[in-house]
Structure 1
């Protein structure tokens, strides 16, 4: 006999209610950041009471940790999927952007949730962010390292610098998109391809 799903308030299954709260929190956190985010505003967005948010996630920090883990999984899973396609050099970089603009279409604010400068530096949220950023950094080192080796460059300092350049470009594109959420993923990808193309084609 299959057990009935756990229910939350007014007969709403607990998993469904958690998803509603999480979605409202992701919107609020992506818009204003952790420091300025209001649990009351998140509760209103989810159509529930403020105490109910605490009953599900324990605290603002607990809710943020869940949001970071969700956003980090979406971003890091997609970057790893793109990396597994086997492209190298600039093609790999553009495939990464293409994958992210598809995965985050309609919700580019997830990038801001994961990389929030106002977030706690210790605790579960910080641990979740580190866990996913370690995955992202590993793929960046791998992809940039392949590109430099193809150019005959094996200098580890050059690798470190170029990883920072690549991460900076990607972060700028994604934050620009979060500032212009009306831009669809396909449009953002086209803009990124034009801008990056112009950079590498400068004579």
Structure 2
């Protein structure tokens, strides 16, 4: 049942179809969770951003955790699909696996860069359904990343069984750092970021080996 009087005096609220309003709320909430984290995001802030009342927001999505989960699942699915598609590309001349995945992530996050931090939110309440569901999505992405990096480890020769797990954690941290840098540089396009990462990855072996250009 819609809250009585909802939309009075609020342009663009009264008469908006429910499906449209829900999409508006989800877009606004995803932005709030991604920018500020679960802990700092309030239902009042989301409602104000959309231009609706808190009662309407609760009517549509329940409490804050329910709203977060409604934002999380589409974000997790999009990122998982992006990684899966990038790993499946084995066409001749395709970029290296790491660069394909990064390019797919940048393309998927274009125009919604904070979405990454909806999934990789460090403020989720421990033991909550929100934390459990986010961990499920992250584990699925990590599993694909581990599969994608297994060939690199195999090519390097016999390795410790935990190497793949350590590399998956390092990869997650790298992606998070790159997205955070990208948010701070809004003029960078997905193609710009992909080219930049290609240069960084090419320089990586020398940097890790401690080599420097001495002329």
TM-score by length of 1: 0.86
Pick the aligned partner of 2:22 from 7, 10, 18: 18
* Cα deviations by residue, 1:13-33 (Å, 9 ceiling, x for unpaired): 322211100001111111111
Pick the aligned partner of 2:48 from 44, 49, 56: 44
Residue 199 (str. 1) matches residue 204 (str. 2): yes
1-side partners of 2:48 and 2:188: how far apart? 26
Residue 30 (str. 1) matches residue 34 (str. 2): yes
Say which one has the larger Rg: 2
Pick the aligned partner of 1:188 from 193, 205, 209: 193
The unaligned stretches of length 5 or more in structure 2 are 1-12
Q: Is the deviation greater in 176-185 or in 138-147?
A: 176-185
* Cα deviations by residue, 1:28-79 (Å, 9 ceiling, x for unpaired): 1111111111211211211211111111110111111111112111111111
1-side partners of 2:59 and 2:198: how far apart? 45
Residue 162 (str. 1) matches residue 171 (str. 2): no
The unaligned stretches of length 5 or more in structure 1 are 1-8
CA RMSD across the alignment: 2.1
Verify the 8 A CA contact 1:106 1:184 in the aligned structure 2.
Answer: no
Aligned pairs (5 A) from 1:102-181:
102-181=107-186
Number of equivalenced pairs: 194
2-side partners of 1:31 and 1:167: how far apart? 19
1-side partners of 2:130 and 2:73: how far apart? 8
TM-score by length of 2: 0.82
Alpha-carbon deviation of 1:201? 4.0
Aligned pairs (5 A) from 1:48-59:
48-59=52-63
- With over 3 angstroms needed to count, the CA separation of the structure-2 counterparts of 1:107 and 1:61, relative to structure 1, is same
Verify the 8 A CA contact 1:98 1:189 in the aligned structure 2.
Answer: yes
